[in-house]
Amino acid sequence: MTFDEPPRTPRGESIVPMINVVFLLLIFFLMTAQIAPPEPFEVTPPEAEADTPATAELVLHLSDAGEIAFGGIVGDGAIAAAAAA
């Protein structure tokens, strides 16, 4: 006498591939993101007419109210820090 195997219930769709895609996208965006410190006050950048963007290592911020900031230092100390750099 032979017995048939009991019928198996069909499995639902696996969610593992979707989780893998989400983590790959997360890693991609974290690796390509550029983390920059926030500006000490709101700055409206000017529009350049040159074709190539300017590059700068040292940035001196000047607000419309006349405040100066350099490297997280605001006020007269920013001028001294910029001159020392």
**pLDDT by residue, tens only, the chain of 85 residues:** 778 888 888 777 888 999 999 999 999 998 888 787 777 888 788 787 877 776 767 888 888 888 888 888 888 888 888 888 8
Half-sphere exposure of 77 (CA within 13 A, CB side): 4
Q: For the chain, give every domain's residue range.
A: 16-43+57-84
Cβ 61 vs Cβ 69: under 8 Å: yes
β-bridge mates for residue 61, sequence order? 69
* Cut 0.85: pTM above it: no
Q: CA 62, CA 84: separation in Å to the nearest integer?
A: 18
Residues 72 and 40 sit within 8 Å (Cβ to Cβ)? yes
Residue 68 carries which side chain, given as an amino acid letter?
I
> Residue 24 has what pLDDT?
96
Confidence at residue 29, expressed as pLDDT on a 0 to 100 scale: 92
